[in-house]
Amino acid sequence: MRVLEDGDLQTIGMMDYDKRLSHSCSAHPKVDPLTGEMFTFGYSQTPPYITYRVISKEGVMQEPVPITIPKSIMMHDFAITENYAIFMDLPLYFMAKEMVRENKLVYTYDHTKEARFGILPRYAENGMLIKWFELPNCFIFHTANAWEEGDEVVLISCRIENADLDVFNGSVKEKFENFKCELYEMRFNLKSGQASQKRLSASAVDFPEVNERYTGRKSEVNIIDAKTMSPDPVAIVELPRRVPYGFHAFFVTEEQLQKQA
């Protein structure tokens, strides 16, 4: 993209990293605020089902790192920490090609399968270095952030319980009574191999945003009960900057604002 004199945007062309990008790419890549590197992945209906990529600050895409999982899944988002990338092998699968109707993607959800979370050293050149952890059945569209605390990797994400397949296949229009999407903290102990989780919010939430200057590092925020708007927060996580309101919110610095003025 390039910015025109009137402030509009114009597409220059497709960014394929000198034809090194031959697979789909996540809508939610992560940029390390300290190194300037970008981390991303793609998922596919054919092996390798997940491909991890690291892109340097200069825009050079490193060699692909295939991630081995049993089946073709739908994975919309992932997370990074200072030293790791976190992948999610969740039980929402693509149906076999011969079962796809009218050229539309169709999903099947396995309510009996555990949710798996893979922790991979973020500069690993071999996907076999990933370490998998299991937690109760769930689905996750979006993560908020992740960081490291001692032997643990902490992930904050929007967890969907009792996922209704009709929601994913687009046939639900009005009834969302059983649709629960809540903010959860998940912890993965790299030393003991144990995983745990706890709910942070009882209300339906999704698509959280954090200040990208703290991507992969520990961010804090106050969670308020919207029903009562009590001055006493439900949970407290400190942040050095205010959290913007609204859907698809993002953070900008004063310098960035001045450049756009």
When the pLDDT of each residue in the chain is averaged and rounded to a whole number, the result is 82
% of the chain beyond a pLDDT of 70: 79
Quick check: is 196 in a domain?
A: yes
Chain-centroid distance of CA 226 in Å reads: 25
Quick check: is 226 in a domain?
A: no
Quick check: is 73 in a domain?
A: yes
Give the C-alpha separation, 156 to 258, whole Å. Answer: 32
Quick check: is 130 in a domain?
A: yes
Q: Does 176 or 52 have the greater pLDDT score?
A: 52
Quick check: is 229 in a domain?
A: no
Q: Does 257 or 34 have the greater pLDDT score?
A: 34
Quick check: is 99 in a domain?
A: yes
Domain that holds residue 60: 24-218
Which string of b and e fits 235-261 if b means at least 16 CB within 10 Å?
A: eeeeeeeeeeeeeeeeeeeeeeeeeee
Q: Does 176 or 107 have the greater pLDDT score?
A: 107
As for how many domains the chain has, the answer is 1
Give the C-alpha separation, 151 to 147, whole Å. Answer: 11
Q: Are strands 222-223 and 235-236 parallel, antiparallel or unpaired?
A: antiparallel
Count of alpha carbons within 13 angstroms of residue 77, beta-carbon side:
20
| Strand partners of residue 116 | 89, 134
Q: What is the pLDDT of residue 245?
A: 47
